[in-house]
Amino acid sequence: MSRPVHMPALDGLGVRVSAARAAAEARGETFYPGASRVHLAAFPPKERWDDWVELSSRAWPAREERHYTLVPTTCFNCESACGLLAYVDAGTGRVRKFEGNPEHPGSRGRNCAKGPATINQVTDPDRVLYPLRRAGRRGAGRWERISWDEALDALAARIRAAITEGRQNEVMVHLGRPGEDGFTERVLASWGVDGHNSHTNVCSSGGRTGFQFWMGIDRPSPDHANARVIYLISSHLEAGHYFNPHAQRITEARARGAKVIVLDTRLSNTATHADYWLSPQPGSEAAINLAVANHLIQTRRYNEDFVRKWWNWKEYLAACHPGRPVAFETFQEILAGLYAEFTFEFAAAESGIDAAVIAEVAGVVAGAGTRFSCHSWRSAAAGNLGGWQVSRTLFLISALLGAVATEGGTFPNAWNKFVPRPIHVPPHPGVWQDLSWPEEYPLAQNEMSFLLPHFLADGRGRLDTYFIRVYNPVWTNPDGLSWMELLTDEQKVGCFVALTPTWSESAYFADYVLPMGHASERHDTHSYEQYDGQWIGFRQPVLRAARERRGEKITDTRQVNPGEVWEENEFWIELSWRIDPDGSLGIRRYHESLERPGTRLTVDEYYGWMFANSVPGLPERAAAEGLTPLGWMRRYGAFEITRGQGAVHEQEVPDAELTDPAVTPAGRVYTSAPPGGPNIVPTGAPEPDGQGRRPAGVVVGGVVRRGFPTPSGLLEFWSSTLAGWGWPEHALPGYIRSHVHPARLEPGQLVLLSTFRLPTQIHTRSANSKWLDELSHTNPVWINPADAARLDIRRTGDLVRVETEIGHFVAKAWLTEGIRPGVVACSHHMGRWKLSGHGQVSAGGMMATVDLGRSAGGWVMRARDQVRPYESADPDTARIWWSDTGVHQNLTFPVQPDPISGMHCWHQAVRVGPARPGDAHGDIAVDTGKAREVYRSWLELTRPAGRVSPDGTRRPRWLMRPLRPSPAAFRLPDAGRASARSLP
């Protein structure tokens, strides 16, 4: 051996190595202890990350050792933010592979297939490497390479003009998966622009809304690992939030005997692991939840003490039963009648599931006590009109059991998430963006992003400069061809900028395509609720960190990234400087160094300040290893701040936090003291009292406790917000019949489930991962054999035509009993395309080349050429063996916004039949004129703030807004007309 053998300090390893050495020597062989010197099943111990040794697989049988620097970063292929370890080859200076980071408290070294596939994205031969500007008309596919300086100067000039001319609302940054906590919002706030837009209303806002109205916090954080019963309305073991970190904890619980109940119309991988799989009629999930809740109520198997202490039943009685005594017994009596109609038989009639099965499930739930964990995310909450009541009724079960912030229960996510304070905090913008937060949707959980083409077609405004980031609106949203019409209209969108690592159906229509880094090529911080604790993760450019570990000085991430690939954070800082070069607009100061005033803030200083000043415990932990806080995060990638956060709502508020207190008759406590207590992140901003004091807690049991960030401070069984903003009939957890309820379907129509993920792809993020593409590249229509026989669809692989309200698509059938009769399903991942004439402008082996044109009925799209092998820098592109890339079904869906949550209701009422003569796989036909009509019909369901606002504001201030404008901006333009009371 030319190298010294370092014996690791791992339990038992020395014994094993000694035994192996003795055995080899007894056989007369030369002992080789193994390249890594640790047991193969072990993760690389962090002490060895500077020089990790493995054998070259290509050199075998020669034992050629390869030396690696292991650098942590964070996966960006879904929002779980699992830790990755990049293996940076000491010889080549390149990343050889990605594996799990064992030091990450959320993912604990584990990843799904998409984590290691990051290497495909980094080495993708089709990725965008240089800034590009269009060289013909929009969408013509002609591009010229430009410098970053040219792009920055052009964009800065436009944005500066918009700001100085009072056109702030013409600047918008539209995010898909953010992958970070607050950087973009902070940039926009520094510009004084209310320009944050998100994809959330086509994703999770339905699920969030139900939790928000209960807790004042919009996401659940289930403690699956310690649960006795796990109740999922989501394919959570394979694809839901937060898939891998939650799945491994659900698996642990199952191993200890926990029961898993899954409501999923489709036999998902998650359903296959359930003890109880319920395949309900789509949209009936809330009826099942209410039948379970009713069982708990009728059998008095609910947690009376918890309900008495933490529900706002007094407020409910006072508002809805004014003649009755405000006593818990009164409430119990009323509660017993409220849900009495939701019998097992009623739920069975709505869902199609046997009443005895629902009764058995209810019995299992009742036995869970406070160890009942639950989750509902996209799934039913994202599919149905009123889908937000699915999560509201699900949390009703948790709240009845008292399984809230208990071991094995469900926490408000903000208690298990940590967002550090940044170095600069700009003020709230003083403007309101009506295109994202229109008057018709005052209670929308998030921006009404998917209606943008219709709002601009209505003449509600225009955009001067429109950025997209990790977002592909033409492909991801419903009604994508209306998006294409918008993005090719320079009157409506003056300049369209795609910040993207790879080509997409939207980037084709951009004016600028600017290359951004993948997971291992950029900085972000993030923190997600994955167990009862708080952690913060650090995504970083791994080659930058590796070279800095060797003593090099890197000042710009472009110095280590391929081509001229950059990262958003350095880009935003530079762009902000160019918008305000002399500081006269007051923007530049939020992007200046504190250490070297008058110079640009660097990402090292930005994150160094954050880790040193606002992550409790990290400076001490780093110092113990002789590292700076930033150095510690660069080395290990994640830090656990707390574990066992517990029942924060029960905590007593110390007197020191109760300066100048005021207590309402209902027990809400206000103070003028600054916020204290645990570092938690409420998603809204509870309304101050008339004196400007902030809510600090609520009196429960004669003690001021922290409570919940709702208006009452309690769990809101009855929502004064829903009641006060025009929706009193939905103020309680309830059941809203879906737009695809059987009673609303026309004869012959089926329900199309279009939202489900595959475990091996994520939206448009993973299409340039060749390993994932090989695993999953098509999306057949699931159809029950009984339906297939009735519809004359004879076998799997037959072409079917699926007709929606605005068009149709043609796909292959998959006959399976994994879907209930009357329902068909199609995964939304596939059907990627590029326009013919765009040459190699593509995203790997997943894009068909299509012709897109007009016909009498609207747009028609047909694949001219499916994917095929091709020559590139990667020899694997010549080995592509598949040609079917599926169908882009979302193009054929009209917008269907829920009038309360604002969530797009994805399920479609469709007709399905055999393909017609001349139909081809992947065909799309869409009438965008009809799409306008459907938009208008759903708009009529709304109750605009101008009519219902009780206080002259556009939106309750306590509800979430990711980028919150100033209080004055919340006022309706002519606020006097409806104002019942004025803002403080």
Binding-site size for ligand SF4 (CB under 6 A) equals: 13
> How big, in percent rounded to 5, are the helix, strand and coil portions of the chain?
30, 20, 50
Cα end-to-end distance, the chain, whole Å: 77
CA distance 579 to 576: 5
- Part in contact with ligand SF4 (CB under 6 A); list of ranges 33-41, 64-72, 76-84, 336-344: 76-84
- Part in contact with ligand SF4 (CB under 6 A); list of ranges 111-119, 181-189, 301-309, 605-613: 111-119
Query: How many beta carbons lie within 10 A of that of residue 756, not counting itself?
Result: 24
Q: For ligand SF4, which residue of 36, 80, 849, 901 counts as binding (CB under 6 A)?
A: 80
Q: Are 943 and 880 in contact (CB under 8 A)?
A: no
- In terms of CB distance, is 112 or 307 closer to ligand SF4? 112
- In terms of CB distance, is 182 or 537 closer to ligand SF4? 537
Q: Is 112 in the site for ligand SF4 (CB under 6 A)?
A: yes
Q: Is 535 in the site for ligand SF4 (CB under 6 A)?
A: no
| Smallest distance, ligand SF4 to C-beta of residue 953, A | 38
Q: Give exposure, 518-530, as e/b (b: 16+ Cβ within 10 Å).
A: bbbbbbbbbbbbb
| Smallest distance, ligand SF4 to C-beta of residue 377, A | 14
Q: For ligand SF4, which residue of 104, 108, 114, 971 counts as binding (CB under 6 A)?
A: 114
Q: Which two tokens stand for residue 706?
A: 């922290």
- In terms of CB distance, is 82 or 293 closer to ligand SF4? 82
Closest Cα to residue 827, out of 66, 77, 268? 268
| Smallest distance, ligand SF4 to C-beta of residue 1, A | 36
CA distance 99 to 229: 32
Give the gyration radius of the chain's Cα atoms.
28
Q: For ligand SF4, which residue of 17, 81, 399, 819 counts as binding (CB under 6 A)?
A: 81
Identify the DSSP state of 923.
Answer: -
CA atoms 402, 405, 407, 408: torsion sign: positive
- Part in contact with ligand SF4 (CB under 6 A); list of ranges 78-86, 141-149, 491-499, 868-876: 78-86
Q: For ligand SF4, which residue of 36, 69, 101, 111 counts as binding (CB under 6 A)?
A: 111
- In terms of CB distance, is 117 or 493 closer to ligand SF4? 117
- In terms of CB distance, is 383 or 759 closer to ligand SF4? 759
| Smallest distance, ligand SF4 to C-beta of residue 111, A | 4
Q: Are 693 and 660 in contact (CB under 8 A)?
A: yes
CA distance 774 to 703: 60
- In terms of CB distance, is 111 or 373 closer to ligand SF4? 111
Q: Give the per-residue contact string, 218-247, with ligand SF4 (x = CB under 6 A; - = no).
A: -------------------------xx---
- In terms of CB distance, is 756 or 833 closer to ligand SF4? 756
Q: For ligand SF4, which residue of 17, 38, 70, 78 counts as binding (CB under 6 A)?
A: 78
CA distance 805 to 221: 37
Q: Is 82 in the site for ligand SF4 (CB under 6 A)?
A: yes
| Smallest distance, ligand SF4 to C-beta of residue 82, A | 3
- In terms of CB distance, is 519 or 751 closer to ligand SF4? 519
CA distance 811 to 788: 14
- Part in contact with ligand SF4 (CB under 6 A); list of ranges 73-81, 308-316, 478-486, 845-853: 73-81
Q: Under rule CB under 6 A, which residues in 416-435 are in contact with ligand SF4? A: none
Name the strand (E) or helix (H) holding 964.
Answer: none
Q: Under rule CB under 6 A, which residues in 709-728 are in contact with ligand SF4? A: none
Q: Is 186 in the site for ligand SF4 (CB under 6 A)?
A: no
| Smallest distance, ligand SF4 to C-beta of residue 730, A | 34
- In terms of CB distance, is 115 or 733 closer to ligand SF4? 115
Identify the DSSP state of 728.
Answer: G
Q: Are 340 and 257 in contact (CB under 8 A)?
A: no
Q: Are 949 and 967 in contact (CB under 8 A)?
A: no
- In terms of CB distance, is 247 or 484 closer to ligand SF4? 247
| Smallest distance, ligand SF4 to C-beta of residue 644, A | 24
Q: Which two tokens stand for residue 411?
A: 């926490």
Q: Which two tokens stand for residue 812?
A: 């292959």
Q: For ligand SF4, which residue of 75, 498, 799, 905 counts as binding (CB under 6 A)?
A: 75
Q: Under rule CB under 6 A, which residues in 147-176 are in contact with ligand SF4? A: none
CA distance 832 to 917: 24
Identify the DSSP state of 763.
Answer: T
- In terms of CB distance, is 121 or 384 closer to ligand SF4? 121
Q: Are 887 and 832 in contact (CB under 8 A)?
A: no
Q: Is 758 in the site for ligand SF4 (CB under 6 A)?
A: no
Q: Are 466 and 924 in contact (CB under 8 A)?
A: no
Q: Are 201 and 450 in contact (CB under 8 A)?
A: yes
| Smallest distance, ligand SF4 to C-beta of residue 611, A | 22
CA distance 380 to 629: 43
- Part in contact with ligand SF4 (CB under 6 A); list of ranges 75-83, 249-257, 389-397, 553-561: 75-83
Q: Are 958 and 710 in contact (CB under 8 A)?
A: yes
Q: Are 605 and 595 in contact (CB under 8 A)?
A: yes
Closest Cα to residue 777, out of 827, 855, 830? 830
Peptide bond into 325 cis (omega under 30): no
Closest Cα to residue 867, out of 789, 983, 768, 976? 768
| Smallest distance, ligand SF4 to C-beta of residue 119, A | 13
- In terms of CB distance, is 82 or 680 closer to ligand SF4? 82
Name the strand (E) or helix (H) holding 861.
Answer: strand 858-865
Q: For ligand SF4, which residue of 115, 240, 709, 807 counts as binding (CB under 6 A)?
A: 115
- In terms of CB distance, is 75 or 431 closer to ligand SF4? 75
| Smallest distance, ligand SF4 to C-beta of residue 244, A | 3
- In terms of CB distance, is 114 or 392 closer to ligand SF4? 114
- In terms of CB distance, is 251 or 883 closer to ligand SF4? 251
- Amino acid making up residue 127: R
Q: Which residues pair with 195 in a beta bridge?
A: none
Q: Under rule CB under 6 A, which residues in 91-110 are in contact with ligand SF4? A: 107
Q: Which two tokens stand for residue 871?
A: 């020559």
List residues binding ligand SF4 (CB under 6 A): 75, 77-78, 80-82, 107, 111-112, 114-115, 243-244
